Amino acid sequence: MKANTKNYISSLVLICIALLFILYPGKDLLAQSNPEVSIPGSQIKNFTSSIISGQEYVLQISLPAGYANGNKKYPVVYLMDSQWDFPLVSALYGQQYYDGFIPEMIIVGITWGGDHPNADSLRARDYTPTTEQRLPQSGGASAFLSVIKNEIFPLVESNYRIDTNDKTLMGCSLGGLFTMYTLFTHPEMFNRYIAASPAFMWNNNILYKYEEQYHTNTSNPPAKLFMCVGGVETSVPGFEKLTSFLNDRHYSSLQIESKVLENTGHSGTKGEGYARGLQFIFKRPSLQLLSNILDQYKGSYKMNDGTVVNIASENGMLTGATGNMKLTLQAASETDFYLTSSFLKIHFVKDEKGNVSGFQLDQYGSSGFATRIN
State which amino acid sits at residue 228: C
291-372: same fold as 42-281? no
Q: Count other Cβ atoms within 10 Å, centred on residue 205.
A: 13
| Contact (CB, 8 A) for 137 and 125 | yes
Q: What is the pTM of this model?
A: 0.87
| Burial (CB count within 10 angstroms: exposed 0-12, middle 13-18, buried 19+), residue 330 | middle
Measured CA to CA, the distance from residue 258 to residue 280 in angstroms comes to 10
Question: Hey, where are the domains in the chain?
Answer: 42-281, 291-372
The CATH architecture one would assign to domain 42-281 is 3-Layer(aba) Sandwich (3.40)
Sequential pLDDT tens for the chain (374 residues)? 445 555 544 554 444 444 444 444 555 555 567 878 889 889 999 999 999 999 999 999 999 988 998 899 999 999 999 999 999 999 999 999 999 999 999 999 999 999 999 999 999 999 999 999 999 999 999 999 999 999 999 999 999 999 999 999 999 999 999 999 999 999 999 999 999 999 999 999 999 999 999 999 999 999 999 999 999 999 999 999 999 999 999 999 999 999 999 999 999 999 999 999 999 999 999 999 999 999 999 999 999 999 999 999 999 999 999 989 999 999 999 999 999 888 999 999 999 999 999 999 998 878 899 999 99
Assigned CATH topology for domain 291-372: Lipocalin (2.40.128)
| Eight-state DSSP code of residue 7 | H
> Rounded to whole angstroms, what are the CA distances from 188 to 220, 222, 226, 269?
7, 9, 17, 27
